[in-house]
Amino acid sequence: MAKIKVNNLNLWYGSFQALKGVYANFAEKKITAIIGPSGCGKSTMLRVFNRMNDLIEGVRTSGEIIIDNLNVLGEETDLVALRKKVGIVFQRPNPFPLSVYENIVFGIRVHEQPRKKAELNGIVEESLKSVLLWDELKDKLKMPALHLSLEQKQRLCIARLIAVKPDVVLMDEPCSTLDPQATARIEELMRELRKNYTIIIVTHNMQQAARVSDDTGFMLLGELVEFGATHEIFTAPKDKRTEDYITGRYG
Amino acid sequence: MRKLKEFIIEKLILVCGLASIFFVVLIFLFLLKEGLSVFKSISLPDFLFGKNWYPISDPPQLGILPLILGSLLVTVGAAAISIPLGVGAAIYIAEIAPAKSKEVLKAGIELLAAIPSVVLGFIGMVTLVPWVKNIFHLPTGLTALSGSIMLAFMATPTIVSIAEDALYSVPKTYKEGAFALGATHWQTIYRVLLPAASSGILAAVMLGIGRVIGETMAVMMITGNSAIIPNSILQPVRTLTATIAAEMGEAVVGSEHYFALFAIGIVLFVISFAVNVTADLFLHKRK
């Protein structure tokens, strides 16, 4: 079932068109990878799903993105509700300069859902367990998050997101600063998270897309060239440009 | 030939560097030598906590508690006004103001810092002082409150520019992360940006206060200069700095009064040194 429908999406940074007439359907509770060379618009594509692009001055969009009947690009869209529903994990882990505990309850605090202390503790435990950090950090919840290792930080950022119970998790090259072992463990975590969340991941790393994703989209110069099941894209691409890219002729 | 030139220049620069330290040490030693002489005739606790400052009565009474409290009252008042104002302005400039007005505002703040304190004192004397007098129905408008308000004008630019710098240098990824979790702009500011910039903001506050404590001219002109222990911010007070400036000219060189003024200088030096070191600690913590 399609969780996210993208119809004729265009996006401009000032006069530069970064996305050109994109159509795609993203399946629910699957991992969809967006691949393509640098500057092809894949990060832009990802960030438009929860309107992170709004932070940049001079961004215009046209077309529509529908997530569960909600038009993301509408003028009156409630951005706070949207970002609660559609969370994002960034390329560089960016925990806040607060304690591990405060990082995880941050989302709950900003959404002003009054919770009892015990409930908050429960959420912290549950979130840390779901990113397999609980055993490492259960005695160090007061520790500043900035003292964690890079991988732990990235896991914490995922846990912080899970704590607000999103539907969709966007990941913008989440492993690009990690070593291969850490990358493998984060990928394992993604497969685990797929049971409950719709995941869209942007990656530079084609092997990663092939390893973890169910569907793959290939982007080039702002166009979504090809979109389909991952095994088909990687074994029998229909477009010549896709074939050239995945066989390493450029990129 | 070139080597010789290098050598001479290097040594010259060395001399310049050493000279600045040398002069600071000299000034400090002179201050100590003159200031400590007062303790031949009065004990340290009597000096610091004595309630009466009558330097020219016979025998002279040299308690500086009224002066310390005067300085403290004016400083606390100025801090109470300038900290919220300065931090608020810094948040506005760093986070909320559109790019164009940002530049104008920053220039305006710098201009405020460039006003000589005697001009501020003069303006305060002719505008603020009568205003305070009328509003509170006081016999005189020359009060600690007037001094606090004028000094707040002097501390604010320091606080704004350093706090703005601290807020601006918070990594943009924190802001992005907070927005991505659905935080509003204000939640992002007070839950993430302010804690992240807290040490820089504290340093800004300390430096602003440091400026207030050392300020002389404006307070001398508008605080009334009466050396009594104040029991309200609406009374005239006299600060440590104003005492030195006002009395040094008439104190007989070598008298107890003269030495006492130097001792006040030491007290001021210790206070500003402590404030500056604290500010420095916060600034380093930031890095």
> Which residue among B180, B191, B195 sits closest to A83, beta carbon to beta carbon?
B180
- The confidence band for A119, taking pLDDT boundaries of 50, 70 and 90, is confident
Domain range spanning residue A140? 2-246
Arithmetic mean of pLDDT over chain A: 89
Question: What is this model's ipTM?
Answer: 0.85
> Which residue among B176, B184, B187 sits closest to A52, beta carbon to beta carbon?
B176
pLDDT digit string, tens, across residues B109-147: 989 888 888 998 999 999 999 999 999 988 888 999 999
Residue B197: the pLDDT is: 92
Question: In a mutagenesis test of the B interface, which of A47, A91, A96, A111 is the best target, namely the one with the most B β-carbons within 10 Å?
Answer: A96
* Across A48-60, average pLDDT: 88
Q: The whole model's pTM is what?
A: 0.81
pLDDT digit string, tens, across residues A56-90: 888 999 999 999 888 888 888 888 889 989 999 99
Q: Is residue A92 within 8 Å of residue A177, measured between CB atoms?
A: yes
Distance CA B191, CA B174 (A): 10
Residue B170: the pLDDT is: 92
* Across A28-41, average pLDDT: 91
Contacts of A157 in chain B (CB under 8 A): 177
Q: Which of A64, A65, A59 is nearest to A85 (CA)?
A: A65
Which residue ranges make up each domain of chain B?
2-40, 53-286
Q: Measure in Å the smallest separation between the Cα of A177 and chain B Cα atoms.
A: 15
Q: A82: nearest CA in chain B?
A: B182
Burial readout A157-168 (b: 16 or more C-beta within 10 A, e: otherwise): bbbbbbbbebbb
Distance CA A186, CA A156 (A): 11
Distance CA B48, CA B53 (A): 11
- The confidence band for B83, taking pLDDT boundaries of 50, 70 and 90, is very high
Residue B72: the pLDDT is: 92
| Torsion sign over Cα B163, B167, B168, B171 | positive
Give the count of domains, chain A: 1
Q: Is residue B59 within 8 Å of residue B153, measured between CB atoms?
A: no
Q: Is the pLDDT of residue B149 over 80?
A: yes
Q: Does A240 touch chain B (CB under 8 A)?
A: no
> Which CATH architecture does the domain made up of B53-286 adopt?
Orthogonal Bundle (1.10)
Instruction: Find the CATH number of the domain harbouring A213.
Output: 3.40.50.300
| Residue A251 resides in a domain | no
